[in-house]
Structure 1
Amino acid sequence: MNSSNLTVSTAIKLINQKEHYDTIIVDESHRLSRRGSKQHSAFNTIYKHTEFANCENHLEPLITLSNQVILMYDILQAIRPANISREKFKELTTGFEKCYLTTQFRIQAPEGKDYSSEDYVNGIKYLLYKDTDLLQYTNFDLKFDRSLFHDTDPDAYFGYFNEAPLENLIDWVEEDKNYHPEHINRVLSGLVEEWKQAEGKNPSITHFHESMISRRWNSTQENWINSTDDDAEDQIGSVFAVQGIDLNKVGVLIGNDLLVDKNGKLYGEPSNFKNVNGKHTKAELLLPDTQKEFTIFVLNIYYVLLTRGIDGIRIAFWHNDAFKEYFKKTFDF
């Protein structure tokens, strides 16, 4: 969209046009691209311009193309190796004025409950990131109301299932649809089952299997929520299909790409992570910094999945008893 004073565009288009602006506002700037091969080739076209040939990411040229840059950034929502690194973003914004937004995620707490969206988001941050150094860069508050995670009422905002993860999550979101047919509910999962783009066109190919239940991944990453597939509501959503999307009730399968080490800390397990573009080579994974970066990507993926449900969320453990015990220990069950 363009007017005499306003342009709404993508980073790639703005950079390739090389037009100078008074102010550039970048929403979700944690998704800005870095230079490299783990992405669509179109993202690297900007480096063909002489003035941008030495740039390492899309943020650098955007800064040069504007008198003022405003960046909406969430350190916990970078979910691809192709995203600008935390270290580089911090370096490039050293002189920037920094302001913390209050939690944008809003939950519909059941009547009579005192907990809030801040309690939930802070609890999820604590669960996932307490053993990292990232919480200091967020508005995390350790004094969250833990009763939210212990609420066993059927209408509680949060809950979990010990067994039959797929069956229980499906039953839970479908039961809600019986009472609220207008709701958009989905079961989501970490990237722990193989998926190929071509398989999205074939509904007979399924990826999640439990007893007599078979489900496939989301058939598309573009506008999946409005998909016209006959089985659209039955498909299991990935983070790429729901990032930035609000749903009503959400079930999340936490898979064995997120495990617990001998010291009781969470780590990403590469052998169980099935996103081809998110994988690192064995040589890269020998480097401590790469191991840490990979773990953060996995944590961020689950953070995104766990903050999609406005009206309620249930989690279940997909071949992952280790995380089940970690979860219970963290919240003193």
Structure 2
Amino acid sequence: MAEQNAQSNRSELKLSPERTLSAAQDALVRQITAFCEHHGRDSQAVFVLHGEAGTGKSLVLNKAFTAIQQAARVGDPASPLAGTRNVFLVNHPEMIKLYRNISEKSDVLRKKDYERPTTFINHMDKTGQRADIVFVDEAHLLLSRADRYNRFTQDNQLREIIRLSHVVVLVFDPGQVLKFKSYWNDSQLAQILGPVPHEVHTLKEQFRVRAEPDMLAWITAFRHRTLRPLPAKQDFDFRIYDDAAVMYRDIQDRNARYGLSRMLATYDYPYTLNGQDHFIHEGAFRLRWDRARPEQRLPWAERPDTIDEVGSVYTVQGFDLNYVGLILGPSVMYDPHTARIVIDPARYEDSAAFAGRGHLHDPDAIKEQIMLNAVNVLMTRGTRGLYVYASNPALRHALAALRRD
């Protein structure tokens, strides 16, 4: 129980409104608040916050939302924000658990302030209401087409959210798009925002991965299919493994010493939501995929028992870990003739990610981009260290050669 509480507190601290911000983050919170005050009575207005994984976008968003709710509920009655009806939308089942847990420790936040986008859209349409201010975390996960499975029948969730709100404040990172049905890029966002008054701001400073620039550059290059020389030895612990079982033992050791250390893998191993366990096999390594447990109060990344599981990109997107043991599955390959990373969608087991190609111009290229986005999300979870094992022999040999060099 002590470990569970410590891990939960660590994650909640990451997004807590009480956390101290950097100067750039603090300035953005003030800009968001001023934007909401200025445009609160307008028909529509949108504030867009860009930034790659680990730049603190969600923290800024929740800090600004808390300030807005403070003004709405207990602030100066003369404030333009007083009495406003506001909501925070999260299209990630693990993250919404975290936000609601944080709200329990706040005097101005409520669990009901945090909703799923489809729930919000359908409720507001049914009741004929409009919200004053809507915050959207990870708007790149919003549906960009109808999806009857998720009870969304309109064409685009962001367009509907804008229609049902006076002001929208959203976080957007196209580098974290993971599915066809929520496929976004900058031009699509610009098209929706075109007729709407809006501001765009970007966070650039990396807060999650506590590494030197050469380490960050290595991860970025991998996402662009290139293997750079290994970074110089530094406090951030980066290791290449020939054996996934050895890597797992090291992750168990890091977890025992520091907590929040987990095994992750690309979605290259069979996994079905049928209530049964499904296992990842790599040589002597055998460990089950993460179990779907929506009834759990704590998100997967925070539960002590998940040291005995392998997490997917859907399990950990948006979360911090201390150390990550990452298995790059068979879909992530290497061509020694071109010295380039090769992505093979045929080996990707996440068939739901590629469902409903619809109007996509080049679905094959988008498949590969989605898979590279997932690799980047997985590589940027660890704050203290990243350990990597490659299933593909050519990639494993190439990484081993970098280690020897």
| TM-score over 0.5 for the pair | yes
Offset at residue 29 of structure 1 (A):
0.6
Aligned residues: 285
Question: Structure 1 residue 179 and structure 2 residue 179: aligned?
Answer: no
CA contact (8 A) 1:270 1:279 kept: no
Q: How far does residue 34 in structure 1 lie from its aligned partner after superposition?
A: 2.1
Which of residues 185, 209, 219 in structure 1 aligns to 2:291?
Answer: 219
Cα distance, 1:234–1:171 mapped onto 2, change above 3 Å: same
> In 1, distance between residues paired with 2:290 and 2:224?
28
TM-score under structure 2 normalisation?
Answer: 0.61
Deviation at 1:260, TM superposition (A): 4.3
Report the Cα offset of residue 20 of structure 1. 1.9
Partner of 2:164: 65
Which residue of the other structure, out of 174, 199, 202, is the alignment partner of 1:97? 199
1:274 matched residue in structure 2: 349
Unpaired segments of 5 or more residues in structure 2?
1-65, 74-82, 88-112
2:214–2:232 Cα contact (<8 Å) kept:
no
- Residue 79 of structure 2 aligns with which residue? none
* Residue 226 of structure 1, CA deviation: 4.3
What corresponds to 2:218 in structure 1?
123
In the alignment, is residue 81 of structure 1 matched against residue 180 of structure 2?
yes
The one of 149, 168, 174 aligned to 2:231: 149
The structure in which a higher percent of residues are helix is 2
Contact 1:186/1:237 (8 A) holds in 2: yes
* C-alpha contact 1:260 1:326 (8 A) present in aligned 2: no
State how far apart, in whole Å, the 2-side matches of 1:228 and 1:156 are: 23
Displacement of 1:94 in angstroms is 4.2
Distance in 1 (CA, whole Å) between partners of 2:400 and 2:174 is 22
Question: How many angstroms does 1:315 deviate by?
Answer: 0.9
Tell me if structure 2 keeps the 8 A contact 1:245–1:308: yes
Structure 1 or 2: more strand by fraction = 2
8 Å CA contact 1:248, 1:311 repeated in 2: yes
Partner residue in 2 for 1:107: 209
Q: TM-score scaled by structure 1? A: 0.73
Rounded to whole Å, the distance in 2 between the matches of 1:100 and 1:301 is: 21
Deviation string 1:133-174 (CA, Å, 9 cap, x unpaired) is: xxxxxxxxxxxxx897232x7x6422212x11x112202212
For 1:274, give the aligned amino acid: E
With over 3 angstroms needed to count, the CA separation of the structure-2 counterparts of 1:323 and 1:295, relative to structure 1, is farther
- Give 2:366's aligned residue: 293
Cα displacement string for residues 244-285 of structure 1 (whole angstroms, at most 9, x for unaligned residues)? 11111111111221234665544431221001202369xx7x
Paired residues of 2:236 and 2:384 also in contact (CA < 8 A): no
CA contact (8 A) 1:23 1:70 kept: yes
What is aligned with 2:318? 244
How far, CA to CA, are the matches of 1:274 and 1:68 in structure 2?
39
1:29 to 117, 139, 153: 139
- Structure 1 position 129, deviation (Å): 2.3
What's the RMSD between the two structures over aligned residues?
3.3
Aligned to 2:118: 12
Which of the numbers 312, 317, 328 marks the counterpart of 2:390? 317
Judged with a 3 Å threshold, the aligned counterparts in structure 2 of structure 1 residues 227 and 58 are, in CA distance, closer, same or farther, namely: same
d(CA) in 2 for partners of 1:73 and 1:169? 33
Give the whole-Å Cα distance in 2 for the aligned partners of 1:326 and 1:221: 35
Identity %: 22
